[in-house]
Amino acid sequence: MKSHKAKDEFEKLLFAQDDHAFPLVMVNTMLRFYNSVRVDDCILENEGDMLLFQWGTYDWGQGRWFRLNITRQIIPQHAEDDDDEIFQLSATAKFHPSAELDALGFGNQWCSSLDELADFFAFIATTAAIQRLHTEPCAEVEIEYSCAG
């Protein structure tokens, strides 16, 4: 797959599932996508294709939301020395904020290679955020593909 097709390909996988609004389904779909679909125009060995899991309550200009996010960061080969060409495919489960969700805190974890994928999933499975929300449908699923550089 070419990097510019990442969003379309991921959305096909995610939205084909009736339960796509459940955080664990969203996360598992991104992990399967990362494990099975290579990006042709990046160098995997040079951290050109990584994953980031993050959670917390934030207000990024759209009001306060508790966000549980899985992001695939892709750096095309031609952009190795240019931070302006770092792209992120981001899947976010948004929940209305509450004191209970605020108590889950915030955090993140990177996965920089396929070799780390099993440990990365184990980390995600042990977070309080995913343990609390894995079977609760979110208020909104947001999928974005944008330049992060």
How many helices and strands, by DSSP H and E, does the chain display?
Answer: 5, 5
- Give me the mean pLDDT over the 60-65 stretch: 88
Report, in angstroms and rounded to the nearest whole number, the Rg of the chain calculated over CA atoms. 15
Tens of pLDDT, residue by residue over 71-130, are 999 998 865 555 568 999 999 999 999 999 999 999 999 999 999 999 999 999 999 999
More confident residue, 47 or 37: 37
Whole-prediction pTM: 0.92
Going by their DSSP bridges, the two strands 87-95 and 140-147 should be labelled as antiparallel
Alpha carbon separation from 84 to 5, 8, 14, 62, 147 (Å, rounded): 19, 22, 28, 25, 7
